Amino acid sequence: MADAVITIDQLTGWVRRFNDLVIKNQAELTELDSAIGDADHGINMARGMSAVINKLAGDHPAHVNELFKTVAMTLVTSVGGASGPLYGTFFLRFAGATGPATELDAEALDMALRAGLSGIVERGKAATGDKTMVDALSPALDAIESVIKNGGDLVAAVVAARDAAAAGRDGTVPMVARKGRASYLGERSAGHMDPGAASMSLLFDALSAELGR
Amino acid sequence: MVGVVVVSHSPRLAHAAVELALQMVHGPAPRIEIAAGTSDDRLGTDAVRVAEAIVAADDGAGVVVIMDLGSAVLSAELAVDLVPDPGIKTRLVSAAFVEGIFTAVVTAAGGAALDDVARDAEEALYAKSAQLGQTQTSTADAVSDLSAGAIVAEAMIINPDGIHARPAALIVGALASLDAQVMIATETSRPVSARSPTALMSLGAQAGDVIRIEADGAAASTAVDRVVALVRNGFGELTGVDPLKTQQSGGLSSQDFQSPAPIGVSPGRVIGPALRIPDPVLEPDPRIRLPEADRLEAVERLGKAAADVASQLQDRSSAGGTSVNCSRRLG
């Protein structure tokens, strides 16, 4: 198993790829948000991730927790909208779960992502089915755990997570929003993909791309 | 004194709301910290700035945080996690923004404890609901459990506007340092806590109404005397005399009841033309650099703008000094 662990360099690469994908999909994310929100998700995420990349150009965190604490705090101070504290909480909790590691195996990655999910759920008071980023993140983690349980490796787990996140993202289309600004629209929010679920799915696209898939 | 942190997407919204609240504070004000807008001057909130504001607002008595909406609430919640000192008592208050800031500032200035400031801010909409005839229960008006030995007095409201925001703030302030439980009722409304500006405003006490003041505790007698003195001198709205100062200097003189001058929510209200204050000029970000190719064009643009300004100034000065201001007047 060549990829039994994901190294700090690969994790940094994950963050860079996430930035690339956010910027590439910025217009689409904003368009999704203009349908059911305040039309700033793409712009805010692109600004936040660009700030992260600038920050990482100067700092070269040696440990996983430093890396994701930097990501979190930079997002919190540069995003401005609700995705700042939400992604900020996600990466802060992720960092808290890994400690000063230099690499993560599948279980450690799963634990860190799980801690991030709890943070988002706690912060946003959202559950699956509320038409939020949780609808992409939660099935992704279930997929990782299912692969690990069946003896699959890290790459297989990440690929399964990517696919589950994408399916979860697509699953938000018919949902009626119960959290965030979209919830003010009630039934009218149905028929549109949730922008937070879309950006969360990009996070898993970036992770699997970093592992060569 | 309990500190107040104001979290808003908009710095202008936050500053204006704080300015409105501070009109009601005549003595020392609580620490008020504003965490509003993003570092690059957009609408938005920043949890790190909120955390810094919480630290700066605390003097040991704790901090209430009033937020506008959406990400302001999420950022405030995250900020509580980010505050390095876990000893700072922090309450995120689900208050209406303007009413909440107003009440929190006035109540904190009155020396109330953290829980009381938070509760009053949360119930700050009560006065508006009562004014509009919509009932809503407030905990501040249901605690009339004074002992049989309570000191009771009655006084007639004589200032034309009754117990509105400013008189309410004066009553809260006058009672701040006193060890007494004080309730005020009118002939038509139940007793409310005299330490809550919004509860007092919800009484709807008008000129001519007789209010009933009940106090219990070590300083009950002083408390009743202070409230009666405030009411009898029309909360300073008959003469413009600051009633608290009068009170400290030992009683009122007959002159305080003369001269029915105009009154208002602030010590001096006048009617005049409004001047629009232009938006502040923002400092450009030094990190932004123009590409080499665009610089010549930018210099030309600046030169043209400077020439336009100079010629406009010349036009205006030749047209007479006051016309410059008139052109900015509204209404």
Residues A147-165 have pLDDT tens digits of 999 999 999 999 999 999 9
Nearest residue on chain A to B49, alpha-carbon basis: A77
Q: Which residue has the tokens 């000063």?
A: A100
Q: Are B53 and B82 in contact (CB under 8 A)?
A: no
Q: Are B112 and B99 in contact (CB under 8 A)?
A: no
Q: Are A108 and A135 in contact (CB under 8 A)?
A: no
Sequence-ordered list of residues with C-beta below 8 angstroms from that of B14, at least 6 positions apart, any chain: B6, B7, B8, B34, B36
Question: How many whole angstroms separate alpha carbon A205 and alpha carbon A194?
Answer: 17
- DSSP SS3 for B330: strand
pLDDT over 80 (residue A55): yes
Q: How far is CA B42 from the centre of its chain?
A: 25
Nearest C-alpha of chain B: how many angstroms from A123? 7
- Quote the pLDDT of residue A176: 93
Which of A43, A54, A79, A120 would you mutate first to test chain B, the one with the most B CBs within 10 A? A79
pLDDT grade, residue A38 (50/70/90)? confident
Q: What is the mean pLDDT of chain A?
A: 94
- Quote the pLDDT of residue B320: 53
- Quote the pLDDT of residue B290: 82
Question: How many whole angstroms separate alpha carbon B37 and alpha carbon B41?
Answer: 6
pLDDT over 90 (residue A27): yes
Q: How far is CA A40 from the centre of its chain?
A: 17
Residues of chain B neighbouring A84 (CB-CB closer than 8 A): 44-47, 71, 74-75
pLDDT over 60 (residue B269): no
Residue type, B86: P
**H/E element, B216:** strand B210-216
Token digits for B293? 């190719």
The separation between the first and the last C-alpha atoms of chain B, rounded to the nearest angstrom, is 42
Q: Does B199 or A8 have the greater pLDDT score?
A: A8
pLDDT grade, residue B101 (50/70/90)? very high
CB contact under 8 A, B46 and A80: yes
* B15 labelled catalytic: no
Q: How far is CA B264 from the centre of its chain?
A: 16
pLDDT tens, residue by residue, B23-60: 888 889 999 999 999 988 889 999 999 999 999 999 99
Sheet holding B151-156, edge to edge: B151-156, B210-216, B181-185, B192-193
Q: Which residue has the tokens 């029915």?
A: B260
DSSP string, B98-162: HHHHHHHHHHHHTT--HHHHHHHHHTTTHHHHHHTT-----GGGS-----TT-EEEEEE--STT-
pLDDT over 70 (residue B146): no
Q: Which of A177-191, B42-56, B138-152, B172-186 has the weakest average pLDDT?
A: B138-152
Nearest C-alpha of chain A: how many angstroms from B10? 11
Please check whether residue B145 touches A, CB under 8 A: no
Q: What is the mean pLDDT of chain B?
A: 82
Q: Are B265 and B165 in contact (CB under 8 A)?
A: yes
Q: How far is CA B197 from the centre of its chain?
A: 11
Candidates 3.50.50.100, 3.40.30.10, 1.10.10.10, 3.40.50.510; correct CATH number of B3-124?
3.40.50.510
Which of A162, A159, A86 minimizes the C-alpha distance to A124? Answer: A86
CB contact under 8 A, B39 and A181: no
The domain of A180 spans 5-210
Provide the domain count of chain A: 1
Nearest residue on chain A to B40, alpha-carbon basis: A78
Which of A34, A33, A118, A127 minimizes the C-alpha distance to A83? Answer: A33
- Quote the pLDDT of residue A180: 82
**Fold category of B139-257 in CATH:** Histidine-containing Protein; Chain: A; (3.30.1340)
ipTM of the complex: 0.84
Burial of B127 (0-12, 13-18, 19+ CB in 10 A): buried
The boundaries of every CATH 3.40.50.510 domain in chain B are: 3-124
The boundaries of every CATH 3.30.1340.10 domain in chain B are: 139-257
B203 Rama sector, left if φ>0, alpha if ψ -120 to 50, beta otherwise: alpha
Q: Report angle CA B81, B83, B87 to the nearest 5 degrees.
A: 100
CATH code at position A180: 1.25.40.340
